[in-house]
């Protein structure tokens, strides 16, 4: 039906990925509801126990749709620091053994990052789990989505879910960034512009020279805060570097990027300038973005480096470069939580770990750290924290106040004991 294809309107990235993951001929237009085939379905220690409970209630001992495409990824409270979490993790482990499902256990690190490193998510693929930041997989042009425990139990059993096709907006980031600005500052510029619900119910496609110039860790940072913009997913069209990484990690030579048609339709196009100075998200919300200089000088009690936003080796290497041969302020508690075991190993072999240790940092095993007050990095009443994580809602990381910045700004702040503009 070549004739018909000629007249089809241009397709966005999400339309193309969805069309390749639903029944042939289904209408994949914004607002239509489709059955979406899920390449990989996962649950973490948060939500996982309820997934198992729902599964057993509704499907008993019957097998999951495909055990080789179903995983548990424990990352939130690792190893468990309280008995209820230990119970929930063990409940998932027992279920996984019964079903023959692989568990990336408490040693592995953040599930979404493990998925990228192990090639479980790659350009054009679909991936769901109980982590609300799974749309981070848009960093490689994959469709990732966090879902509730009923949704995931259903996906374990059926390998699919219903999904309303969201409209797509385009965010163009113009210009080029110069140090000390990083991908995190670019991300905060976009978040400040869109606000906490500027992308509500939408997919985003990020383009423009400043986005194209980002390496994979930078793309991960940008994609990691789409949830805080209210977005369903934020795609960064894969570069050659990203495609080569995905092919190598997955062992699939046939992976290709999925790109929008030139005449694809967008509900809105937003242009943002790449920031020319470091930015910071002040309490009480990630979208409360200001230049760092406006709050510089505020004395701090703690620093948290890590999370799915900025827990890559490159993030810690940038910090190590700044603190090399120096020591953090004596009144500051500063903790480092690598995203994954692979990141930890890179830090070990490169000397970054040693540099951070001598500078006075607390170094923890991989995982989500202080996010969702899970483990390392919780705050007490009155405590002022600078963090590279992605949320600073009241009560999120504890009773204190959390400021969100780049690792570079966090490093300078740790050295000076106050919120500081990078030198």
Partner 1 sequence: MKPTQIQGRLWVLTDPQGRLYDDIDTDMIFHNRYLHITDVAQMGQYTLDNLKGWQDFARKAQAGDIVMAGKNFGAGSSRQQAVDCFRALGIGAIVAESFGAIYKRNAINSGLPILTLPGLTDMAGRFQTGDSLAVDFATGQVVLNGGQVFLGEPFSQVQMDIYQAGDLFAYGKLLGAGT
**Residues making contact with partner 1 (CB under 8 A):** 33, 46-47, 49-50, 53-54, 58-59, 82, 84-85, 87-88, 130-132, 146-151, 153-154, 157-158, 160, 162, 164, 166, 196-197, 200-201, 227, 230-232, 285, 372-374, 391, 393-396
In Å, what is the CA distance from 288 to each residue of 224, 255, 276, 390, 413? 17, 38, 18, 12, 19
E-strand ranges in 240-394 read 268-273, 279-281, 289-291, 302-306, 333-337, 362-363, 384-387
The least distance separating partner 1 from the CB of residue 228, rounded to whole angstroms, comes to 8
129: three-class secondary structure by DSSP: strand
The least distance separating partner 1 from the CB of residue 270, rounded to whole angstroms, comes to 18
Which CB atom, from 206 or from 412, has the smaller least distance to partner 1?
206
DSSP 38-99: -SEEEEEHHHHHHHHHHHHHHHTTPPPS-GGGEEEE--SSSS-SSHHHHHHHHHHHHHHHHH
79 CA to centre of own chain? 21
Paired tokens of 74: 């424990």
Which CB atom, from 38 or from 422, has the smaller least distance to partner 1?
38
The least distance separating partner 1 from the CB of residue 127, rounded to whole angstroms, comes to 14
Which CB atom, from 46 or from 313, has the smaller least distance to partner 1?
46
Which CB atom, from 365 or from 373, has the smaller least distance to partner 1?
373
Alpha-carbon torsion (293, 294, 300, 306), positive or negative: negative
Which CB atom, from 162 or from 357, has the smaller least distance to partner 1?
162
In Å, the largest CA–CA distance within the chain is: 72
Task: Report how far residue 233's alpha carbon sits from residue 258's, in angstroms, rounded to the nearest whole number.
Answer: 14
Paired tokens of 288: 């409360």
Which CB atom, from 227 or from 413, has the smaller least distance to partner 1?
227
The least distance separating partner 1 from the CB of residue 343, rounded to whole angstroms, comes to 23
Cβ–Cβ under 8 Å, residues 40 and 156:
no
The least distance separating partner 1 from the CB of residue 328, rounded to whole angstroms, comes to 28
According to DSSP, the residues that pair with 164 across neighbouring strands are 33
The least distance separating partner 1 from the CB of residue 388, rounded to whole angstroms, comes to 18
Question: Which residue do the tokens 């002022």 mark?
Answer: 384
Which CB atom, from 34 or from 347, has the smaller least distance to partner 1?
34
The least distance separating partner 1 from the CB of residue 134, rounded to whole angstroms, comes to 8
Paired tokens of 85: 């979490």
The least distance separating partner 1 from the CB of residue 258, rounded to whole angstroms, comes to 21
Which CB atom, from 232 or from 336, has the smaller least distance to partner 1?
232
């Amino acid at each position: 039906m070549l004739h018909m294809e000629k007249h089809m309107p241009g397709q966005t990235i999400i339309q193309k990925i969805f069309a390749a993951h639903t029944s042939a001929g289904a209408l994949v237009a914004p607002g239509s509801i489709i059955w979406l085939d899920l390449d990989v379905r996962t649950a973490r220690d948060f939500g996982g126990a309820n997934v198992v409970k729902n599964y057993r209630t509704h499907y008993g001992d019957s097998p999951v749709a495909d055990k080789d495409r179903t995983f548990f990824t424990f990352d939130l409270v690792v190893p468990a620091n309280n008995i209820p979490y230990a119970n929930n993790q063990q409940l998932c482990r027992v279920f996984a053994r019964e079903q023959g499902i692989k568990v990336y256990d408490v040693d592995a690190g953040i599930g979404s990052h493990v998925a990228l490193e192990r090639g479980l998510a790659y350009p054009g693929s679909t991936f769901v789990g109980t982590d609300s930041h799974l749309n981070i997989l848009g960093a490689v042009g994959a469709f990732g989505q966090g879902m509730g425990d009923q949704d995931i139990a259903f996906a374990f059993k059926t390998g699919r879910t219903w999904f309303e096709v969201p409209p797509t907006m385009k965010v163009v980031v113009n210009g080029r960034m110069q140090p000390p600005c990083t991908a995190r500052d670019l991300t905060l510029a976009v978040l400040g512009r869109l606000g906490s619900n500027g992308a509500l119910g939408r997919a985003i496609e990020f383009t423009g020279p400043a986005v194209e110039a980002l390496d994979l860790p930078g793309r991960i940072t940008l994609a990691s805060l789409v949830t805080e913009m209210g977005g369903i997913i934020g795609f960064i069209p894969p570069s050659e570097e990203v495609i080569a990484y995905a092919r190598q990690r997955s062992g699939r030579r046939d992976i290709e990027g999925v790109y929008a048609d030139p005449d694809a339709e967008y509900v809105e196009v937003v242009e943002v300038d790449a920031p020319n100075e470091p930015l910071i998200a002040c309490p009480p919300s990630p979208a409360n973005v200001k230049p760092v200089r406006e709050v510089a000088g505020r004395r701090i009690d703690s620093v948290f480096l890590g999370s799915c936003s900025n827990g890559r080796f490159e993030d810690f290497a940038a910090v190590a470069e700044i603190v090399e041969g120096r020591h953090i302020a004596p009144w500051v508690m500063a903790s480092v939580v690598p995203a994954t075991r692979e990141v930890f190993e890179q830090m070990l072999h490169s000397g970054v770990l040693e540099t951070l240790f001598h500078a006075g940092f607390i170094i923890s095993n991989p995982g989500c750290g202080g996010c969702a007050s899970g483990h390392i990095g919780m705050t007490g009443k009155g405590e002022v924290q600078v963090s590279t994580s992605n949320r600073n809602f009241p009560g999120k990381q504890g009773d204190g106040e959390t400021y969100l910045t780049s690792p570079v700004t966090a490093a300078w702040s740790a050295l000076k004991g106050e919120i500081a503009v990078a030198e």
